[in-house]
Amino acid sequence: MIVVAGKNNIAVHALNKLIDIVGANSLIALPNRNDDGNDSWQRSFRLAAEKKEVRIESLETLDKKKVRFFLSLEYDRIISPDLFPFATLYNFHFSKLPKYKGMYTSIWPIFFGDDESGVTVHEIDRGIDTGKIYAQKNFKIDKKDRARDLYRKYITNAIELFDDKVDELLSEKLCAKLQQAENSSYFPKDSLDFSKIKINMNCTAWQLQRQIYAFSFREYQLPQLFGKSIVEAEITDRKSVHKPGKVVDDF
């Protein structure tokens, strides 16, 4: 039995691809807990599974001893490999591992000014995004990309990586390599509190722009300054003579 766990367009795509390969009866869908079965700006994985007549389970009801492959694609639960004695467990993580293990991978590369990110297929082990790497697809981050733009690039490249590697994943022909300690980073869930995000004005113009772009994700939030939503930040050649946070023009 193959389990597909996750959300959004990437999980829907993987499900449809696997139906073509192994058939709906060989699959189980594990939607995220907040999936209400309605399409929005991304497709509902629960709704897609229902339409394709794929059996839907939860992590609690799943008969884990019958699972041969477990594929996590933006799944919202931490998976313990000890619970799956006969399964090979894969995670499609939205970052260029070993950088940005954990949460908010659409934010940090923008915030820190990276010019590249990636999608990584890795083994699910007892750590968080620490398992051996099976495959990776890297792509460029544009200077004007916001968090929302980066997330869409993750989805697009994850779909391409899935299509390219799914046969090798299911035949277990991909060689794995250990993650390196150099340039490794991790951000837990409590590293950001979106209800308390405040733009730090005591910084360079480049740092200010990075903050605004990093927290711009229209479906969830836009950065706020002086009670207004900010959607753009332009860096000029003119040197400011004002204190940080001074409003020079309001239009």
pLDDT at 6: 98
Output the CA torsion sign for 231, 237, 242, 247.
negative
Instruction: Decide if pLDDT at 166 tops 80.
Output: yes
What's the angle, vertex CA 118, arms to CA 30 and CA 137, rounded to 5?
Answer: 90
pLDDT digit string, tens, across residues 151-160: 999 999 999 9
d(CA 109, CA 147): 9
Q: What is the pLDDT of residue 197?
A: 85
The tens digit of pLDDT for each residue in 167-191 reads: 999 999 999 999 999 999 999 999 9
Using one digit for the tens of pLDDT, what is the confidence trace for 78-96? 999 999 999 999 999 999 9
- Of residues 166, 131, 123, 127, the one with CA closest to residue 20: 166
Closest CA to 15 of 60, 47, 45, 59: 45
147-171 helix and 8-22 helix, angle to the nearest 10 degrees: 20
Q: 94 is written with which tokens?
A: 């939205």
The pLDDT of residue 235: 85
Q: In the chain, what percentage of residues exceed pLDDT 70?
A: 100
Q: 121 or 249, which is more confident?
A: 121
User: What average pLDDT does the segment 208-226 reach?
Assistant: 92
Mean residue pLDDT across the chain: 94
- Residues 36-62 have pLDDT tens digits of 999 999 999 999 999 999 999 999 999
Cβ atoms of residues 136 and 118 within 8 Å: yes
pLDDT computed for residue 251 by the predictor: 65
Per-residue pLDDT tens over the stretch 219-248: 998 998 888 888 888 888 887 777 777 777
Question: Environment class of residue 16 by beta-carbon count within 10 Å: exposed (0-12), middle (13-18) or buried (19+)?
Answer: middle
> Is residue 130 scored above 90 in pLDDT?
yes
* Per-residue pLDDT reduced to its tens digit, 105-122: 999 999 999 999 999 999
